[in-house]
Each structure stands twice: as C-alpha cells, then as structure tokens.
Amino acid sequence: MSKHLFTTDFEINASKKMLYPYLHSASGLSQWMADDVTIDEDKVFNFIWDDEDHRARLVAHRTNNYVKFEFVPENDEDAEDPAYFELRLDMNELTQSVFIKITDYSEMDDTDELHDLWSGLVDNLKETVGG
C-alpha cells in the first residue's frame, strides 16, 4: 500500500524549551499523543492506541527543535519505505509565536481525517502545557 505525506502546523502558546520534553520522552508523549507510550531497553518507543502497539525508533532529534520517529517495519515493503512522523518546533521571530509543524508519512490518505486527528492531539498538548 502506498504512503502519503501530510504536513500541517498549529500555533501553540508555550516556549520551545517547555514543549520539547512532551515531544521527546515517553512520559511526555503519553500525556497527549497516545493512550500510553513506553520505551524498551533497545530504545524502541511503543505507542499504544486503542490497545494496539505501534513500535517506533527516535531516528533524529535536536534539543528544543524537533523529533522524528520512524515506525519499525512489519514487512519488506515497510522496510524499504518506512512510515514516520516528525514534530518540529518553529518560532516566528517577528511575533515570537511558537508553531508545532507536523509531518506524517503513513498509509492514511484522508487529509481531512489526518488534520482532525492531529488537531485533536495538539489540543491535548495545549491543554497539558496550558498553551
């Protein structure tokens, strides 16, 4: 099945330094993104949504700027073209506003559904951090 690239961003009233732990750590992610997030001894994150496990590795990050999680391939096709999501914190220098930019590369191809999904998750994050 082919994958689709989706990007969107949301303004969030919190500093990049305050937000980063919620993007980078299992405990932070479990507060807003998934039903639960754990990390094993091999540093593989397990995102649990609706009692289903989704294993991902943190493949790139820059403190207070961005994280990129790549899902562990379940078959050869996934290994050649793995699904991932990236969360990037950008600041508008003129307004001092912080934006969370989301890149989602997955088999989900309904743009409206993806926007609603990420919008709900970011609302959870805003509620968690008070932003």
Q: Taken in order 114, 120, 125, 131, is the CA torsion positive or negative?
A: positive
**2-43 confidence digits (pLDDT tens):** 899 999 999 999 999 999 999 999 999 999 999 999 999 999
Kindly tell me if the per-residue pLDDT of 92 is higher than 70: yes
State the pLDDT at residue 130.
86
Whether CATH 3.30.530.20 fits 4-129: yes
Enumerate the domain spans of the chain: 4-129
- Confidence class of residue 58 from pLDDT cuts 50, 70 and 90? very high
% of the chain residues with pLDDT over 90: 86
Burial of 72 (0-12, 13-18, 19+ CB in 10 A): middle
- The widest CA-to-CA distance across the chain, in whole angstroms, is 46
- This prediction has a pTM of 0.92
> Which amino acid is located at 127 in the chain?
E
State the pLDDT at residue 131.
67
State the pLDDT at residue 1.
64
State the pLDDT at residue 111.
94
